[in-house]
Amino acid sequence: MAIVAHSSKSGRVTRATFAWIVGLLFFFPIFWMILTSFKTDADAVKPEFLFFFTPTLDNYANMTENYDYWRFAKNSVITAVFATVFTLFVGIPCAYAMAFNPSRHTKDVLMWMLSTKMLPAAGVLYPMTFLTKNVLGIFDTHFLVILVLSLINLPIVVWMLFTYFKEIPKEIIEAGKMDGVDTWGEIKEILIPLAWGGIASTALLCFIFCWNEAYWTVRLTTTEAATLSKLIEGNRAPEGLFFGRLSAVSAAAVGPIIVLGWFCQKQLVQGLTFGAVK
Amino acid sequence: MGQIVLENVTKSFGDTQVIPPLNLTIEDGEFAVFVGPSGCGKSTLLRIIAGLEDTTSGKVVIDGEDMTEISPSKRGLAMVFQTYALYPHMTVRKNIAFPMRMAGMSEDEQNKKIEAAAKSLNLTDYLDRKPGQLSGGQRQRVAIGRAIVRDPSAFLFDEPLSNLDAALRVGMRLEISEMHERLQTTMIYVTHDQIEAMTMANKIVVLRAGNIEQVGSPLDLYREPQNLFVAGFIGSPKMNFITGEEASKHGCHTMGVRPEHIEVSSSTGPWVGKVGVSEHLGSDTFFHIHDTGLADVLTVRAGGEVGFRAGDTVHLTPRDDVIHKFDAQGLRT
């Protein structure tokens, strides 16, 4: 322990440098994208304007005027918010049941839930499209997007919540039972207040996943329920290489979530590393 | 009212039966203590009474009513847990108020009861603190307060003092006993500590592997243990067991003599041995005597001022009137 705690200065510098390099590697595409979004489509592909160019807001103006950015943004907010709420609404009781009333099969159920994430999405693309378009008639609706986003995130949400709930001493829930609360009361009065931090970071992560989801939102929507992912995809330039415009759309799509993530980073880090060390 | 009857209660976890068919009656107002080594099923039994654990078969009857299938909250019992199990996100006041709020009691009435409970438990100054800001003893008091305000027909204590330090434990033991005197409500108390059992109970239930070994008042168990297990479990230091020729002379397979029933002297007595370790408690001294030819070690309790040194030869005289005799099956004869 003493060796680890008392690391040498050069060791610290090496680690810090390494961390910076990794950080910059992750940040670079975002930086590049934002930079490109202020160039004209013509400048965007010219090497001589790599860092020095005349910035323009044309791409952003174009995006809001001609591409109806706000409609896509609204759809993204609606679907991500409702999908997150719905996922938690189902996930909390589910994780609660498994954490506090485990059966012999709880572990299997959890594994099974996770295994659904292993199914390649492309494998069910045809049935999903056929069913929603031709049988159920819910293709390109908010309902469908919310449902799909909820279902694909449910396993990971249940897993996360399960881990948090496991940290709550069973006796506290039992004390609640003795004190006269019913199952809903246990969840509302004891579980949610105690696991609030964990639930918040789960919700945040779920929201981010929903916001960034592209595979299904691109394929199961056309106009009505199309989200920002669809807007980016739509600007992928079938007519040519409009990098400036594409970058502006992308920057405007990821912007809100980056801002949200920035303000909630403490919650997020706690959420992702929770239970790792105990 | 608070009579609790267990009728042929059994409990199995999978294929393992932890409680074989068991019958027990705890009368209204009794202070019953379940005592036994860890894993003897005492906590499981308490949890069955509370309703936190289902019975595999048999009935739990409270005040004449079959409660086997009734949820914990509707059994009219209150429980105090070893880990206190307070709600960490609520203040002491809210913790104590919680069961009353759940029962839909008016706020005035809640406050009145909280004040009364806080006063009797010395918690008045801490009502607005969170459990995390309290010491172990205070937390356990809050847990007791939360139990009291419900006016339960019986209190269930699951090793409530195990997490406290020794000095506090003695104090809390007394407080709980006084509370029982005052309230005269049935209490069931689980512990592995036979001293707690002896000092607090009207009725001790000694358990081993889910079986009731003996039920009786503390002094009954001390004076007339029905088998070797109870004889060895109740009393501190442990009873000495002697087998072989000496036991046969007394007409039994195993004879038991408590350390306090052996007189030690430097000159007279039928048994002779050498002093090993001595434990000086001030008021008493426990001598561990070796080489008696009766048992590996005999423990003897003498006055605090008696001073033998390690290696001294001593003579021992058991008090014939309080010798316990057991047959080959370990049962009292």
State the smallest CA–CA distance between residue A1 and chain B in angstroms: 29
Q: For residue B26, which phi and psi values (nearest 5 degrees)?
A: -115, 120
Phi/psi zone of residue B16: left (φ > 0), alpha (ψ -120 to 50 degrees), beta? beta
Confidence of residue A261 (pLDDT cuts 50, 70, 90): confident
- Preferred mutation among B54, B77, B83, B94 to probe A, highest tally of A CBs within 10 A: B83
How are strands ordered across the β-sheet holding B4-13? Answer: B16-26, B4-13, B57-62, B65-66
Report the percent of chain B where pLDDT is more than 90.
Answer: 88
Helix locations, chain B, DSSP H: 42-50, 92-102, 107-120, 136-148, 166-183, 194-200, 218-223, 228-233, 245-249
Q: Is B87 on the interface with A (CB under 8 A)?
A: yes
| pLDDT confidence of residue A237 | 62
Contact B72 A182 (CB under 8 A): no
Which of B86, B103, B143 is the closest to A180 by Cβ? B103
Strand partners, B22: B9
| pLDDT confidence of residue B307 | 82
For B89-103, what is the mean pLDDT?
94
Contact A179 B88 (CB under 8 A): no
| pLDDT confidence of residue A7 | 65
Q: Is the dihedral of CA A108, A175, B25, B211 positive or negative?
A: positive
Evaluate if residue A242 carries a pLDDT over 70.
yes
Evaluate if residue A122 carries a pLDDT over 60.
yes
Residue B39 three-state SS: coil
Chains A and B: how many Cβ contacts under 8 Å? 59
Confidence of residue A6 (pLDDT cuts 50, 70, 90): low
| pLDDT confidence of residue A278 | 31
| CB proximity under 8 Å: B 34-73 to A | 50-52, 71-73
| pLDDT confidence of residue B318 | 94
Contacts of A181 in chain B (CB under 8 A): 73, 102
Confidence of residue A1 (pLDDT cuts 50, 70, 90): very low
Cβ atoms of B174 and B7 closer than 8 Å: no
Evaluate if residue B208 carries a pLDDT over 90.
yes
Contact B73 A179 (CB under 8 A): yes
Q: What is the CA radius of gyration of chain B?
A: 23
Evaluate if residue B29 carries a pLDDT over 60.
yes
- Preferred mutation among A178, A184, A190 to probe B, highest tally of B CBs within 10 A: A178
Contacts of B87 in chain A (CB under 8 A): 172, 175-176, 190, 193-194
A193, A190, A203: which is closest to A161 by C-alpha?
A: A203
Q: Is B8 on the interface with A (CB under 8 A)?
A: no
For B127-138, what is the mean pLDDT?
92
Residue-wise pLDDT tens digits, A41-84? 878 777 777 777 888 888 888 888 878 888 999 999 999 999 99
Evaluate if residue B143 carries a pLDDT over 90.
yes
Evaluate if residue A259 carries a pLDDT over 90.
no
Cβ atoms of A157 and A198 closer than 8 Å: no
Which of A169, A177, A194 is the closest to B83 by Cβ? A169
- Preferred mutation among B47, B49, B70, B79 to probe A, highest tally of A CBs within 10 A: B79
Q: Is the dihedral of CA B53, B54, B55, B58 positive or negative?
A: positive
For B115-128, what is the mean pLDDT?
93
Residue-wise pLDDT tens digits, B155-170? 999 999 988 888 889 9
Cβ atoms of B234 and B206 closer than 8 Å: yes
How are strands ordered across the β-sheet holding B254-257? Answer: B240-243, B254-257, B324-326
Evaluate if residue A116 carries a pLDDT over 50.
yes
| pLDDT confidence of residue B276 | 94
Evaluate if residue A270 carries a pLDDT over 70.
no
Evaluate if residue A277 carries a pLDDT over 70.
no
